[in-house]
Structure formats: structure tokens, C-alpha cells
């Protein structure tokens, strides 16, 4: 049977044209469907908007129907509860006839002129106190005195162990005119009064300029004092933590047998908080001395009467691990040091 190629080609072309027509028709239907979906979304939004508006109107009508002398939107509604114990519930429960006291918020615009001025002064004062407290969180603030002829520096410190702020320290600087051989008459700031240790102030002053400070050197002096006070407080916090440390805190099987017995009986330090002396429990009878400088442990003094040369070397190695430890890591590293000594049998109960 002979097949007419031209006829077959024409038939295929016709089918392809029909397919293209169907595709275009489908695309048109899809576009129309998408438009209907968008219109449906817009309609739903309008319906939701109308519903919210209607609900607001209903709420407004309900509010208008309430007696104004018994309603204040700033006062929360009474909640019925049975929280109190029966023995005291009669003192707190209220009956059905109970009428809550209406607390009305005072608008400053409704006050008399004199009362409004007084209220504004109180508000301004409270705002200033809040601002001052925010600045003092940083630990270092300055304030002028005597028409700017004196400058006050205030140092605030937070005791993290006792969870409270300590009494602030103050340094008062006074502006003085000094005759300089090279620069002639110059104005310098000198320490006038302070509530710090004299040695600390002298060291800071001589470290910058014994004759006084210029404006830029005040910041150097203030930050140096603040850093020194912060280090001293950090050492104090460390001493409190070590004094309250028990063998159970070491989290070691060898130490756990001693339970909650304190590791150290006495802990003391010099005024500069640079030398810490730790007296072990009286049954151990050993002392540990740490020298603190630049925020880290510089020297360790702890000796035992060890006959074994190998054990003596091991003790020296344990002591050397503490040298260079920063104060922030001192508590953790001292615990590790104690665990090593206990595990090696160097200190025993």
C-alpha cells in the first residue's frame, strides 16, 4: 500500500496547529483563573475589613451603654479566683456588692499652673537621676565644681559576689597655674582631695606627671585609677569565692571524700591587693601565697617537705602552671591545681 507523503505531512501540520490552538486556549483560561483568584483575595480583604469595623462599632456601643462613673479603661477588671488559703481567704475575698475604687489617670494639662510646674520639676529631676545612674553603670563619671575651677571624678564599682554596688570613691582635681621653665605659665590639674589610698594616687600621679595633668592626661589618670580599683575588687571577689570553696566544689573523686569541708581557713591580702595569703584547713597546715600584678598571677609560693626529688619537681611544675593565669581564670585554675595535688597525694587530710 502506497502512502502519500504530502498528505501525511499536511495531516501532521494540522494536528500541530490544533495543539497550538489548544495551548493558547489553556493559557487564556489559566490567566482568567488567576484574575479570579486575585479578585477573590481582594474581596476577602474587604470582607475582613468590614468585619473588624463592625466589631469596633459594637464594642463602642457597649462602652457607651456603661455608666461612666463605674468604668475606667485604665483599671483592669476584677478577676475571680480561689488562690488564698481558707484560713485567710475571708480577709481578701469580696462580695457581689463590692465596688472597685476607680483610679483616674491625672493629665498634667488639667492641673493648675503651680501644680503643673511642680510636677514637671519632679519629672525632670527623676529623669536626670535615671540618666546619672545610666552613666554611672560604666564606673567612671566626671562633674564640674566651683565654676569649673575644680573637677570631680566619681568611681563606682559593683561587687559581683555580694550583688551590690560599693560606696563610690571620689577624686577632686583643682586647676592651678604653674610656672614652667620651658612653657612659661601653664594651667595644670592637680589632685586636691580624694577618698582613695594615698599610695595608689601617688603612683598614678608620678606615672603621668608629678607637676599636674593637662586636659588629655585627666582621662589617662581617671582610667588608670578605675582599672586599679576594678582589679582590687576582682581580687576581693576571688578571695570571697576561695574562702567559701569546699572540697565538694572541686568535683573530683579524691576530693569528694572530704565533703563540704572548706579548703581554706583564712585568706588575707595586703592593702594593694597584690599579695594574697591562703591558709589551708588546719589539718593540712600549709600556706599558699599568690602575687598579683597586671591582672594576673605573677608568683606562686607553696612548698612541701617532700623527700622524693621527683615529687618536688612535680610540685614545681604544678606551681608553674598558675603563673601567668589571668584573674578571670584564677578560680578555675586554682581548682585544677588543688585536684592535681590531691591526686598526686601531696596534700592529704
The mean pLDDT of 201-224, rounded to a whole number, is 87
Q: What is the CATH architecture of 139-236?
A: 2-Layer Sandwich (3.30)
User: Above 90 in pLDDT, residue 155?
Assistant: yes
Burial profile 164-176: b = 16 or more Cβ within 10 angstroms, e = fewer: eeeeebebbbbee
pLDDT at res. 87:
52
Residue 252 confidence (pLDDT): 83
pLDDT reported for residue 128: 80
The yes-or-no verdict on residue 2 having pLDDT over 70 is no
- Overall average pLDDT of the 8-23 stretch: 80
Instruction: Report pLDDT for 154.
Output: 92
Phi first, then psi, for residue 144 (nearest 5°) are -80, 155
pTM tops 0.85, yes or no: no
**Main-chain phi, psi angles of 344, to 5 degrees:** -85, 0
Average pLDDT over residues 228-241: 87
Q: What is the pLDDT of residues 72-89, one digit of tens each?
A: 455 455 555 554 455 545
Segment among 66-70, 136-140, 176-180, 312-316 with least mean pLDDT: 66-70
Share of the chain above pLDDT 70, in %: 79
Assess whether pLDDT exceeds 60 at residue 206: yes
- What's the pLDDT at 153? 92
User: Average pLDDT of the chain?
Assistant: 79
Q: Is the predicted pLDDT of residue 4 greater than 70, yes or no? A: no
Q: Which of 6-15, 101-110, 151-160, 340-349 has the lowest mean pLDDT?
A: 101-110
pLDDT score of 71 more than 50 = no
Q: How does pLDDT run across 312-327, given as a tens digit for each residue?
A: 888 889 899 999 999 8
Classify each residue of 38-71 as buried b or exposed e, where b means 16 or more C-beta atoms within 10 Å of its C-beta: eeeeeeeeeeeeeeeeeeeeeeeeeeeeeeeeee
Q: What is the DSSP string of 202-222?
A: HHHHHHH-TT-B-HHHHHHHH
3-state secondary structure of 88: helix
Q: Is the pLDDT of residue 37 over 50?
A: yes
CATH 3.30.457 domain span(s) along the chain:
139-236
Please give the average per-residue pLDDT across 256-284, as a whole number.
82
Amino acid at each position: 500500500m502506497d502512502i502519500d507523503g504530502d498528505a501525511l505531512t499536511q495531516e501532521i501540520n494540522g494536528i500541530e496547529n490544533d495543539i497550538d490552538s489548544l495551548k493558547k486556549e489553556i493559557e487564556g483560561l489559566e490567566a482568567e483563573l488567576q484574575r479570579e483568584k486575585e479578585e477573590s483575595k481582594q474581596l476577602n480583604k474587604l470582607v475582613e475589613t468590614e468585619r473588624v469595623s463592625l466589631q469596633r462599632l459594637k464594642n463602642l456601643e457597649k462602652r457607651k451603654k456603661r455608666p461612666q462613673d463605674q468604668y475606667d479603661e485604665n483599671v483592669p477588671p476584677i478577676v475571680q479566683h480561689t488562690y488564698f488559703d481558707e484560713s485567710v481567704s475571708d480577709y481578701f475575698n469580696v462580695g457581689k456588692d463590692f465596688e472597685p475604687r476607680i483610679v483616674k489617670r491625672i493629665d498634667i494639662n488639667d492641673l493648675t499652673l503651680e501644680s503643673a510646674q511642680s510636677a514637671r520639676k519632679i519629672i525632670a529631676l527623676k529623669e536626670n537621676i535615671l540618666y546619672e545612674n545610666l552613666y554611672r553603670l560604666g564606673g567612671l563619671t566626671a562633674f564640674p565644681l566651683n565654676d569649673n575651677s575644680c573637677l570631680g571624678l566619681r568611681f563606682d564599682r559593683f561587687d559581683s559576689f555580694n550583688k551590690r554596688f560599693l560606696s563610690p570613691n571620689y577624686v577632686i582635681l583643682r586647676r592651678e597655674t604653674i610656672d614652667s621653665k620651658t612653657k612659661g605659665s601653664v594651667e595644670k590639674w592637680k589632685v586636691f582631695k580624694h577618698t582613695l589610698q594615698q599610695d595608689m594616687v601617688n603612683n598614678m600621679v608620678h606615672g603621668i606627671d608629678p607637676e599636674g595633668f593637662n586636659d588629655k592626661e585627666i582621662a589617662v589618670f581617671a582610667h588608670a585609677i578605675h582599672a586599679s580599683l576594678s582589679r582590687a575588687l576582682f581580687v576581693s571577689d576571688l578571695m570571697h569565692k576561695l574562702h567559701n570553696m569546699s572540697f565538694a566544689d572541686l568535683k573530683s573523686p579524691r576530693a569528694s571524700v572530704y565533703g563540704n569541708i572548706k579548703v581554706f581557713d583564712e585568706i588575707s591580702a595586703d592593702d594593694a591587693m597584690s599579695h594574697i595569703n591562703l591558709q589551708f584547713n588546719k589539718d593540712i597546715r600549709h600556706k599558699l601565697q599568690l602575687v598579683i600584678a597586671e591582672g594576673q598571677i605573677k608568683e606562686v609560693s607553696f612548698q612541701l617537705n617532700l623527700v622524693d626529688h621527683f615529687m618536688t619537681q612535680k610540685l614545681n611544675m604544678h606551681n608553674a602552671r598558675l603563673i601567668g593565669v589571668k584573674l578571670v581564670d584564677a578560680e578555675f585554675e586554682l581548682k585544677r591545681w588543688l585536684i592535681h595535688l590531691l591526686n598526686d597525694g601531696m596534700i592529704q587530710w
